[in-house]
Amino acid sequence: MSMIKCISPVNGEVYAERPAMPLELAKQVVSRARQAQKAWARRPLDERVNLVLSGVARLNEMVDEVVPELAWQMGRPVRYGGEFKGFNERGNYVATIAADALKPLVIEESDRFERRIAREPHGVVFVVAPWNYPYMTAINTVAPALMAGNTVIIKHASQTILVGERMVRAFVEAGVPADVFQNIFLDHETSAALIAAKSFDFVNFTGSVEGGRSIERAAAGTFTGLGLELGGKDPGYVMEDADLDAAVDTLMDGATYNSGQCCCGIERIYVHEKLYDTFVEKSVAWVSNYKLGNPLDPETTLGPMANKRFAATVREQIADAVAKGAKALIDPKLFPQDDGGAYLAPQILTNVDHSMAFMREETFGPAVGIMKVKSDSQAIELMNDSQYGLTASLWTKDAERAARIGADIETGTVFMNRADYLDPALCWTGVKETGRGGSLSVIGFQNLTRPKSYHLKKVTA
Ligand code: NAP
């Protein structure tokens, strides 16, 4: 039996491992989920919502285990306290809109006709989750899917192998029936085989573009609904009227927090020539304050990347850009803990352009490129020069200008004077190779249900 392993970035050793489930056993898990689904969907919405909220609350009680476990699995420093803030905010918010989002759209209610569009759960939803924000990305789908009356099977990333198991434990201890929310340890082949065998009614995949392609291929011809939340290369644009200090603070945080491993992390910044020099100088000072080190040390503000192979990609992109003329502004001597492996110093590059992979491909590390621009049109062209489109962060005091530029940017979300945040009231979505579909908000509920039309003609005497 093959084992799925989490190699800890803290020390490069196996932190946890679980046997990959063979296909026949996995099919039994799916079958239990299917059998449990109708009874779960028949329970009153309030009951389902409250059980999910109890699951969220139960996970919070596990904070003392969750936080160091996350540090060991993917390197997030313990001082940040896990990801409960976003996890709770999203879980709690979707609970407040569930009734409205799922209520039928009544077209006619007369003595002759009842015509309405109801929302029906899909059935069994498969959630494939990434390691970078392992709880927050999972709750985006798990909470609304369960509330809507689906049963859910979660397959978590190898790097965060314990997260699905722990979430399910919390939810089941809180009263969610065991067959309604199940964790499964699967390799890629078995995941694909299950999808190809029409096991699921909806698959939500959050991860890389290549992973998304594999899921789409596995689902081809099955008509299984897919939500694909994939990579990004999110830009920031600082206009000449921006609040400079706020822009530096938010954009540098957006570029480097979680060691830059955020789907909506800031990966490239375009700054108006009037502010460029000061922006760069302040950004270098901001980033130089990080303390890179062991994530279990409360003093550490920047942990290792989740895996040394992710750090290797960042190092390669930086080296390639520097070979092509980029200037690396962060002195490596400030970060002696950089070990050439998972522990990676943050970096800011200038003299960059879009011929460099560093400015085009997802870096997913604590490194960002800054370019000077002269005009909005140049900034728009550069922001759109990407295969991705998740978010864009505009910095200006002029909301109308931001809205105008926002209309021209190919992106899922337009931010003004903020970045790197998922508002659960808005739809989380992307364009181009960032994927398809949308989660959270009313639209997230719609994507986890299907419309069912009732056209009832009443018999009148
Ligand atoms: P990944 O390698 O694609 O893995 C994501 C999840 O999919 C993991 O559970 C992984 O399992 C599984 N997986 C990958 N390929 C698969 C396949 N062929 N068949 C079945 N399962 C497969 O991505 P990651 O490195 O974990 O996450 C980082 C990426 O996710 C970045 O590109 C980031 O931008 C993106 N992301 C996007 C969003 C968004 O909202 N758009 C949010 C977070 C992250 P294993 O770990 O076992 O391989």
Express each pLDDT in 187-246 by its tens digit. Answer: 999 999 999 999 999 999 999 999 999 999 999 999 999 999 999 999 999 999 999 999
Cα–Cα distance for residue pair 232/417, rounded to 1 Å: 19
CATH of span 3-231+431-457: 3.40.605.10
Residue 425's pLDDT is 98
| Annotation marks residue 263 as catalytic | yes
Residue 332's pLDDT is 87
Catalytic residue among 6, 262, 263, 264: 263
Ligand 1 binding site (Cβ under 6 Å of any ligand atom): 128-132, 137, 155-159, 188, 191-192, 206-208, 211, 214, 229-232, 263, 362, 364, 390, 428, 430, 434
**3-class SS at 318?**
helix
Cα–Cα distance for residue pair 222/199, rounded to 1 Å: 10
Catalytic residue among 69, 83, 229, 433: 229
Choose among 58, 63, 57, 75: nearest CA to 11: 75
Cα–Cα distance for residue pair 50/52, rounded to 1 Å: 5
**What pLDDT digit, counting tens, does each position of 23-68 carry?**
999 999 999 999 999 999 999 999 999 999 999 999 999 999 999 9
Alpha carbons within 13 angstroms on the beta-carbon side of residue 361 total: 15
Please give the distance of CA 108 from its chain centroid, rounded to a whole number.
39
Residue 311's pLDDT is 98
Q: Phi first, then psi: give them for residue 267, nearest 5 degrees.
A: -115, -15
> Does residue 165 contact residue 178 with C-beta atoms inside 8 Å?
no
**CATH 3.40.309.10-classified regions of the chain:** 234-387+391-426
Strands 202-206 and 413-416: unpaired
> Does residue 164 contact residue 188 with C-beta atoms inside 8 Å?
no
Q: From 87, 133, 188, 428, give the residue whose CB has the most ligand 1 atoms within 8 Å, as the site to mutate.
A: 188
Strands 105-109 and 113-121: antiparallel
How many of the other CB atoms lie within 10 Å of CB of 43? 13
What is the 3-state composition of the chain as percent helix, strand, coil, each rounded to the nearest 5?
45, 20, 35
Q: Note if the pTM is more than 0.95.
A: yes
**3-class SS at 76?**
coil
> Does residue 411 contact residue 236 with C-beta atoms inside 8 Å?
no
| Annotation marks residue 400 as catalytic | no
**CATH 3.40.605.10-classified regions of the chain:** 3-231+431-457
Residue 460's pLDDT is 79
CATH number (3.40.50.720, 3.40.309.10, 3.65.10.10, 1.10.260.40) of 234-387+391-426 reads 3.40.309.10
> Does residue 72 contact residue 15 with C-beta atoms inside 8 Å?
yes
Distance of CA 65 from the midpoint of ligand 1 (Å) = 24
Those residues of the chain that have pLDDT short of 70 are: none
**3-class SS at 353?**
coil
Q: What is the mean pLDDT of the chain?
A: 98
> Does residue 433 contact residue 224 with C-beta atoms inside 8 Å?
no
